[in-house]
Chains A and B, each alone.
Chain A
């Protein structure tokens, strides 16, 4: 078996092994899960190290300042591994705090402009005049949803008065529609992932056609072993 064919076989095996979990938890799904986590972690670490080597070899030592910065960064990054030591766990917090601090600092400088002001401006610019009827209706609904939902989360005033009731109800239904839409997209994603694997198993181009030949045999083998094991366990009782 060539390396390519073996790769296709592994793809078929692990795809089916993961999906055997739908029947029940079993050694196939466990193996696939652990191999995936191990391979993904190993790949990530190896790729980061490769990037460091390929991008910075001969570059980091050009000036003394660069060398010092590079060595300091390397030493700091090694502190991540103290996550696995009970005694020196506190050292792990140093790179963690630097990473979190840097990221928050970078995000804070623009988050208000990126995620608040532009959206407020876009909502404020919505109009119901001078546009076609459908757009006007859409804009009207959007304005009503935004206003009512914001009022729903206004906790500084008592919401017991009568006018609050329909506003809160409308806001609640609006949010439920929003969550429903998000859930619909989640279903789309799960189905799409599955469809992608089905395309692989059926060898739909550009997937390797050999997968189509291996798929029924591997599936039958897994099914037979799992059903056989269940039958054996039942008969022993």
Chain B
């Protein structure tokens, strides 16, 4: 018994650098030799995809990039899959950013998808527009909700007055918006959008967010203010499977599973060790 407890003690006090090294290996390994572990699809991803699928033709969708580049690994697969899904629909899309890094990510995804080329064939200014960054956080959200034209007088790409674009004739305030799509990592984010766009204008929204934000958004899903959410990389994989476009999310699924297995194993070891040491005492 004594030697057993000593082993558990050793395991409990294992050098964290060894755990980091193990994590490096189990995350790198599936990218070199994919395992193909199964991915089950949850209700959040289904309702997220369904909300986009059920958009009536010519709906006005505002997509807001509300996150920093630090979350690119987790959010980029969600962003690419969602933008692909949106561009395949006969709807109008206005892209904005409440976070200063937003336009960088928006440009990345637009460069990758090329909405004006096949299979999307969307015309800039008619089917979609990039309005760029609006500083001010919640104040900017409120101002945009009240009047898009005066808050963002010029578009982001050509710096032309927004009033000259056909798409903007149908977008004067949040009252004209059918759906808000927000990709986000924190504040300002869902809380602020719900306060400034859902309460006064009843604009429903869907959210792609980092996993750590999920517990703060779930109450809005339960309340019906948020119609669907994709929390983190795992949800990105589920969503990619639903829309039939495998990307970085599915590619990461194995690494996500193996890394979590390591965490679970160490949590179990830590607990057994704790219980074993308590019994000895």
* A to B contact number (C-beta, < 8 Å): 145
Which residue numbers of B lie inside 8 Å of A, CB to CB? 16-17, 20, 23, 27-28, 31-32, 70-74, 76, 100-101, 112, 132-135, 137-139, 142, 152-154, 159, 191-192, 194-196, 198-200, 210-215, 219-220, 222-225, 231-234, 248, 251-252, 255-256, 259-260, 263
Decide: A59 and B153 in contact? CB cutoff 8 A. Answer: yes
The CA-CA distance from A81 to B26 in the complex, in Å, is: 47
Q: Which of A171-208 contact B (CB under 8 A)?
A: 178, 181-182, 185-189, 191-200, 202, 204, 206
Chain A residues with CB under 8 A of B27? 191, 194-195, 198
Identify whether the interface residues of B are mostly helix, strand, loop, or mixed: helix
Whether, in the assembled complex, A48 has its beta carbon less than 8 Å from a beta carbon of chain B, the answer is yes
Decide: B211 and A188 in contact? CB cutoff 8 A. Answer: yes
Closest to A207 in B: B248
Chain B residues with CB under 8 A of A107? 138, 192, 195
Closest to B21 in A: A22
Query: Which 4 residue pairs are nearest across A and B when measured between Cβ atoms?
Result: A196-B73, A118-B223, A188-B211, A192-B74
Whether, in the assembled complex, A121 has its beta carbon less than 8 Å from a beta carbon of chain B, the answer is yes
The CA-CA distance from A202 to B232 in the complex, in Å, is: 21
A52 to chain B, nearest CB (A): 8
Chain B residues with CB under 8 A of A196? 72-74, 76, 252
User: Which of B154, B214, B222, B260 is A187 in contact with, Cβ under 8 Å?
Assistant: B260
Chain A residues with CB under 8 A of B255? 191, 195, 198
Chain A residues with CB under 8 A of B211? 185-186, 188-189, 192
A62 to chain B, nearest CB (A): 10
B254 to chain A, nearest CB (A): 10
The CA-CA distance from A178 to B134 in the complex, in Å, is: 35
B278 to chain A, nearest CB (A): 19
The CA-CA distance from A185 to B71 in the complex, in Å, is: 14
Which of A48, A107, A192, A198: most chain B CB closer than 10 A? Answer: A192
Which residue numbers of A lie inside 8 Å of B, CB to CB? 22-23, 43-44, 47-48, 51, 54-56, 59, 102-103, 106-107, 110-111, 113-115, 118-119, 121-123, 178, 181-182, 185-189, 191-200, 202, 204, 206
B14 to chain A, nearest CB (A): 14
B2 to chain A, nearest CB (A): 33
Contacts A114-B194, A119-B219, A122-B224; A193 near B153 (Cβ below 8 A): no
Chain A residues with CB under 8 A of B70? 193
User: Which of A119, A121, A193, A204 is B31 in contact with, Cβ under 8 Å?
Assistant: A204
A74 to chain B, nearest CB (A): 13
Closest to A117 in B: B223
User: Which of B159, B214, B252 is A54 in contact with, Cβ under 8 Å?
Assistant: B159
Closest to A187 in B: B263
Decide: B139 and A103 in contact? CB cutoff 8 A. Answer: yes
User: Which of A43, A122, A185 is B100 in contact with, Cβ under 8 Å?
Assistant: A43
User: Which of A114, A115, A181 is B215 in contact with, Cβ under 8 Å?
Assistant: A181
Decide: A202 and B195 in contact? CB cutoff 8 A. Answer: no
The CA-CA distance from A106 to B196 in the complex, in Å, is: 8
The CA-CA distance from A47 to B237 in the complex, in Å, is: 33
Closest to A121 in B: B223
Chain A residues with CB under 8 A of B159? 54
